Amino acid sequence: MDAVSVQEVSFAYGTNAKVLEIASFGASRGERLFIHGPSGSGKTTFLGLLTGILSPQSGRVSILGQNISELSPRQKDGFRSQHIGYIFQQFNLIPYLSVIDNILLPLWMNKNRMKKIQSKKPAEEAEALAERLGLIECIKKNVLELSVGQQQRVAVARALIGQPDLIIADEPTSALDEDRQKEFIDLLLEKTESRKSTILFVSHNQRLAAHFDRSISLGEMNTAKGLK
Amino acid sequence: MILRLAFFSLKNRWLTTCLTLASISLGVALFLGIERVRFGVRESFSSAISQTDLIVGARGGSLPLLLYSVFHLGNATNNISHSSYAHFRDHAAVKWTIPYSLGDSHRGYRVVATNSSFYENYRYRGDQQIQFLEGQAAQDIFDVVIGAEVARKLKYQLGEKIVLAHGVSQGAAIFDHADKPFRVVGILKRNSTPIDRALYISLEGMEAIHMDWKDGGPPDLGKEMKAESFSKESIQIEQITTFLLRTKSRIDALRLQREILDFKGEPMMAIIPGVAMAELWNGVSYAEDSLKVVSTFVILVGVLGLLVALLTSLNERRREMAILRVMGMGASRLIFLVILETFFVCLSGIGLGIGLVYGGLSLSQSWIESYFGLFIPLKALQMSDYIYLTILLATSVLVSAIPAVKAYQTSLSDGLSLRV
């Protein structure tokens, strides 16, 4: 069973032309996949489909063997919060929550994800993660007081907590210089090594592809004509 | 956990939260305040007289009788003879009577001629009796007792000599009783009833200042009777204007009312104060209704303010909502979060408003009473208040569903693209 399987999928916003058309795409479990997605390649749409935030007009998107188009909106929300860890382009931490509360957010959202933690209490789990990511001294701080590097690591901790099966990272390094980019990717790969999580790392920067098991170009995969 | 999120989110937007809170609590305070004032006005109106079973006067309208006897408004068209009064004063079923002789004034304040029965028997607001701040009841012919408002406005002290005006006038009178000045012997304690705004002399005093008058005019110059020539015993009281009456047993009141109406001596009538007052209150109830309309609008404005605050905050929260969605927060929880925040703000606003009203009232109660002559009782919240506040809470929760659903929709269309 593949971690991700996309078959004959097409998508258009409203009645506009198709912006995404993919014949076949797949990632096996534990695979670390680099997806090259320059702007205008339908990247945001693609990730929206994978997370169930968007629904394809035709075709099939399966995550961990589950066809997510078949789920109700509520089930999609539940499925996403249980199985997917998401790292945003700008980290997108909730500004008014402390570091530890930001890390705990996915656990709050989903009971099943809460069950997968190793420690007895969620707070202990979050602290353990923060410890491993070098965030322990600022755990009570407001996220806005952190440096960009620290915010990044909080975003990683938030994606990793509760061991989601699939981690999607959307341009997480675009705001960083080259040294920092490598550092970040190493950190991400290292922390997911033991967990056998599947990683989809999306970036326009092709040079980063070297760090991953396999590399795919979204631009080549997407045959839709509706793009600019 | 969702509580925690709601709390921190509100805390994050503390300025908006505080302003919304202020607008809600002010709305509630204003609403409850108006309700209290409305209640206070009604109370002080209907409690101006109590324990009186019948008010008796010359035949005419029942409202004019009530107005001139209790509220010192308007004039009597006719007097009644003292002998008719005496007939009912000595009636077997009557416990006490208070005679009033009206018609004169002092600088816009009514002069009421009465006797000692007034000081003994008059009751207001349940069982409150007339009390003196200084001095005593009018004993001598030319003694006058003044109400608290009169004393405060005109700055009269005990022993002061004042001149009564003939007839009821605001400013300088056409005729006055300058030849027979009165001496202030008592000042009444404030009681927030029409009594505060009147002067009290004896029936004999009223008779004395008019004794030498003829055909409704003053005596010719040089023919005035000297004030010193009067003695209380020598004065025969010819007529009074009205009298208040209390029966020994209240069951007799209706029978006595009938009897007064059928009295052969002269045309008279008797009214039951409570009934006449209810009638009067119904007549002016549109004033009360307008207050109600105002307070309803006040509440409406509060709810609108809440809605505006929510909708404006929505835009700055788009990013936050989108993050929560991607984290897997479902539609119902997202909507619940927004509604919960509203509920929080609204509930604490209501609490604050109630506190504001009661705190403010307990601090300013005596001040309001002394300056406006309005006694506002600190009454517990009424059923109608609870109903209104519940409606307010329910409305704001319902109204907040609009931004909540909108927030959900925006977060849907925003999807993963956090361009905000």
Q: Which of B320, B331, B415 lies at the smallest CB-CB distance from A94? A: B320
- Other CB atoms within a 10 A radius of the CB of residue B319 amount to 19
Which residues in chain B are contacts of A144 at CB distance < 8 A? none
Q: What is the pLDDT of residues A63-76, one digit of tens each?
A: 988 898 888 888 88
Q: What is the pLDDT of residues A102-145, one digit of tens each?
A: 888 888 877 777 777 766 788 888 888 888 888 888 888 888 88
Which residue has tokens 């707070």?
A123
Predicted local confidence at residue B158, as pLDDT: 92
Predicted local confidence at residue B262, as pLDDT: 92
Q: Is B331 on the interface with A (CB under 8 A)?
A: yes
d(CA B43, CA B364): 18
Asked if B24 and B307 touch (Cβ cutoff 8 Å), the reply is: no
Predicted local confidence at residue B187, as pLDDT: 94
Return the closest-CA partner of residue B205 out of B224, B223, B182.
B182
CA B61 centroid distance within chain: 24
- Which residue of chain B comes nearest to A98, CA vs CA? B8
Check CB contact under 8 Å for A94 and B417. no
Q: What domains appear along chain A, each with residue ranges and CATH number? A: 31-53+73-215 (3.40.50.300)
Check CB contact under 8 Å for A88 and B418. yes
Predicted local confidence at residue B171, as pLDDT: 60
CA distance A202 to chain B (A): 13
Which residue has tokens 């809470």?
B393
Q: What is the DSSP letter of B208?
A: H
CA distances from residue B374 to A32, A216, B35, B122, B371 in whole angstroms, order as listed: 80, 83, 14, 19, 8
Q: Which of A53, A74, A82 lies at the smallest CB-CB distance from B416? A: A53
Return the closest-CA partner of residue B47 out of B304, B270, B377, B353.
B377
Which residues in chain A are contacts of B416 at CB distance < 8 A? 44, 47-48, 51, 53, 88, 170
Single-letter residue type at B187: I
Check CB contact under 8 Å for A92 and B418. yes
d(CA B84, CA B92): 15
Which residues in chain A are contacts of B414 at CB distance < 8 A? none
Predicted local confidence at residue B420, as pLDDT: 38
CA distance A80 to chain B (A): 6
Which residue has tokens 């997480």?
A172
**Residues of A within an 8 Å Cβ radius of B:** 44, 47-48, 51, 53-54, 73-74, 77-82, 84, 86, 88-90, 92-97, 101, 105-106, 108-110, 170
What would the DSSP string read from start to end of B152-173? HHHT--TT-EE-PBSS--SSS-
Return the closest-CA partner of residue B164 out of B221, B228, B214, B218.
B218
- Which residue of chain A comes nearest to B319, CA vs CA? A92
Q: B14, B323, B341: which to substitute to probe chain A, counting the most A Cβ within 10 Å?
A: B323
Q: What is the pLDDT of residues A190-207, one digit of tens each?
A: 878 777 889 999 988 888
Check CB contact under 8 Å for A48 and B5. no
Check CB contact under 8 Å for B332 and A44. no
For residue B382, give both structure tokens.
């009424």
Predicted local confidence at residue B20, as pLDDT: 83
Residue A50 confidence (pLDDT) above 60:
yes
Q: Is B274 on the interface with A (CB under 8 A)?
A: no
- Which residue of chain A comes nearest to B9, CA vs CA? A96
User: CB within 8 A of A68, min separation 6: which ones?
Assistant: A52, A61, A62, A76, A79
Predicted local confidence at residue B245, as pLDDT: 93
Q: Which of A47, A78, A94 lies at the smallest CB-CB distance from B328? A: A78
CA distance A107 to chain B (A): 9
Q: How many CB pairs under 8 A join A and B?
A: 73
Q: A77, A99, A144: which to substitute to probe chain B, counting the most B Cβ within 10 Å?
A: A77
Which residues in chain A are contacts of B415 at CB distance < 8 A? 44, 48, 53-54
Portion 3-22 of B in contact with A at CB < 8 A: 4-5, 8-9, 11-12
Check CB contact under 8 Å for B323 and A44. no
Predicted local confidence at residue B173, as pLDDT: 59
Asked if B202 and B109 touch (Cβ cutoff 8 Å), the reply is: no
Q: Which of B322, B325, B330 lies at the smallest CB-CB distance from A74? A: B330
- Which residue of chain B comes nearest to A72, CA vs CA? B330
Which residues in chain B are contacts of A82 at CB distance < 8 A? 328
Check CB contact under 8 Å for B330 and A82. no
CA distance A165 to chain B (A): 14
Check CB contact under 8 Å for B416 and A78. no
CA distance A219 to chain B (A): 18
Q: Enumerate the domain spans of chain B.
A: 2-45+285-414, 54-271
Which residues in chain B are contacts of A97 at CB distance < 8 A? 5, 8
- Which residue of chain A comes nearest to B409, CA vs CA? A53
Asked if B310 and B342 touch (Cβ cutoff 8 Å), the reply is: yes
Asked if B141 and B235 touch (Cβ cutoff 8 Å), the reply is: yes
Check CB contact under 8 Å for A86 and B326. yes
Confidence of residue A48 (pLDDT cuts 50, 70, 90): confident
What percent of chain A stands above pLDDT 70? 96
Check CB contact under 8 Å for A109 and B328. yes
d(CA A162, CA A85): 9
Return the closest-CA partner of residue B210 out of B202, B201, B222, B219.
B219
| Burial (CB count <10 Å: 0-12, 13-18, 19+), residue B350 | buried
For residue A187, give both structure tokens.
């950190």
CA distance A91 to chain B (A): 10
Which residues in chain A are contacts of B320 at CB distance < 8 A? 94-95
The mean pLDDT of A202-216, rounded to a whole number, is 88
ipTM value, please give it: 0.78
Asked if B323 and B420 touch (Cβ cutoff 8 Å), the reply is: no
Q: What is the pLDDT of residues A67-113, one digit of tens each?
A: 988 888 888 888 888 888 888 877 678 888 888 888 888 888 777 77
Check CB contact under 8 Å for A94 and B330. no
Tens of pLDDT along chain B (420 residues) come to 777 888 888 887 788 888 888 888 888 888 888 888 888 888 777 888 889 999 999 998 888 999 999 988 888 888 999 999 999 999 999 999 999 999 888 888 999 999 999 999 999 988 889 999 988 888 888 999 999 989 989 999 999 899 888 877 666 656 778 888 899 999 999 888 889 989 999 999 888 888 777 666 777 666 677 776 777 777 888 889 999 999 998 888 999 999 999 999 899 999 999 888 888 888 777 877 887 788 788 878 878 887 887 788 777 777 788 788 777 777 788 888 888 888 888 899 999 999 999 999 888 888 887 777 777 777 778 888 888 889 888 888 888 888 888 877 777 666 666 543
CA distance A1 to chain B (A): 24
**What mean pLDDT is reported for chain A?**
84
Residue A30 confidence (pLDDT) above 90:
no
